[in-house]
Amino acid sequence: LGKGEKGIPISYDVGPQAINTHDGIPVFGLYPDYVNKVKVDWTEEGKKQTYTWSIYAAPVSLPSTTGQTAVLPTVEPVKVDSSLKNRLYLFNHITGMPRAGHIMHVAGGAANWDYTGINWISDTNGDVRGYMNIDKFRNQDDITRFGSMMSFHQVNDGNLIFGQGQRYFKYDFLGRVISDKRLPKGFIDFSHAITETPKGTYLLRVAKENYPLNGKYTINTVRDHILEVDQNGDTVDYWDLPKILDPYRDDVILAMDQGAVCLSVDAEHSGQVMTKEQLAKQPFGDIAGSGPGRNWAHVNSVSYDPRDDSIIISSRHQSAIIKIGRDKKVKWILSDPSGWKGELAKKVLKPVDSNGKPLTCEAHHCDGGFDWTWTQHTGWLVPSKSTGGKTVVTAFDNGDARGMEQPAMPSMKYSRGVEYQIDEKNMTVSQMWEYGKERGFDWYSAITSVTEYRPETKTMFMYSATAGMSGTKPIVSVLDEVKDGTQDVMLELKVHSNRAGMLGYRALIIDPEQMFKK
């Protein structure tokens, strides 16, 4: 039951399998440091029964660091439509303290890209309804037990999948371990993306260990392989992106703000770009650069299209959303056409308006209000809208290097949630909807963030996770749900960080009805 008059109750059905698994009724969503009222209704011998228990839950307990102001960030409700009042959100934030960067692979890679995850569940009042004890997952002296905890998804059976460094996990919402597996041999450095396919396999964004390069080097790659594994952890397939794409296309990298490259934030280099000469001198390792062994792709999402057994990836450092088949052939590229060569250039989609009329595009800009995504995140398929030969994808268009340049003033930057419709037969793309441009720099997130269509409420869910990031002050992330196809904000929450150096990565909607239904 809810806390006080305005508290929000969490209700869900519990199936016999869940009762047997937990040897009783699983209770989720208790308020911390509070005597909760838990009401249970059941039927016994044909008669309806009810009973209410009082259960105290302990306070939230998490590691603390210098400059921290509270145990968790504070969630402030700004607007909550009554139709969305019962939403629960899992927030996935990242902090740089403590870090385990003293351990890394001999041949390079991104093992030392290690940030402590701060993950909790909030209701729309801003009250904490669950959190993860990070100490149960991390060991700073074990390379297989640290890394940035990312890509939480509630999958079809109601449980939670995510990954961290050299491992990937499946847990239920009471903290029971369902699976805890290492990446298969030869693959390293998970981050950003794990998703479940309808076949029950997992797609993970990883890197390749001991990768031969030009007959001269053996290196570890960085964020440029997609791995498919089955429930046993066996390798089903993988996509070697340095061979499928062009790892030397550097147009976007040369235009990017070197002060904010994913979670690597350096305020001293804000607004600065890299020259061709500097790019050529970049060492191997987790650094924005050209070619295998450097962070040339920075793939931050992967989704699966069961209609043709393909994957759709988001490559931040190519500012591209790309569809690739099981045969490892590129089907289409949603990107500014600059720098794509040969057969890949033929796969770049041509912008059209809603009537299919070609748009005029010059110098990285198009008429008709169309724009590509720039250093985007979460280029996801929308299955419920992808019908009749059309493919619909959404993305969080972060907006760094928009138009292949840095603006005269940083305050001119903006981010967008955006939706595209793709005609794969005619190789065209139209922009169906956008949100965020009019909110300007206050809503701008240089890195991270998410856009997702929610069919059950017909809303666009967006989390501008690093809004207001300066590198020196606590950020205020902004979560919005907007009525589909409109600018009508139905829900907005502001998430006030509890320390400088903490960054929002993503958020997701949690459905308690799916947790224990079996």
Active site residues: 377
Do 338 and 404 form a contact (C-beta atoms < 8 A)? yes
The count of residues in the chain is 518
**Residue by residue, what is the 3-state secondary structure of 268-320?**
HHCCCCCCHHHHHCCCCCCCCCCCCCCCCCCEEEEEEECCCCEEEEEEHHHCE
Q: How far apart are CA 226 and CA 224, in angstroms?
A: 7
486 DSSP assignment: S
Joined tokens for residue 150: 């990312």
Q: How far apart are CA 316 and CA 304, in angstroms?
A: 18
Rounded to the nearest 10°, the torsion over CA 25, 26, 27, 32 is 140
Residue carrying the six token digits 């001991």? 210
Residue carrying the six token digits 């224990």? 516
The secondary structure element, H or E, covering residue 48 is strand 47-57
Adjacent-strand bridge partners of 496: 74, 476
263 DSSP assignment: T
Phi, psi of 40 (to 5 degrees): -120, 130
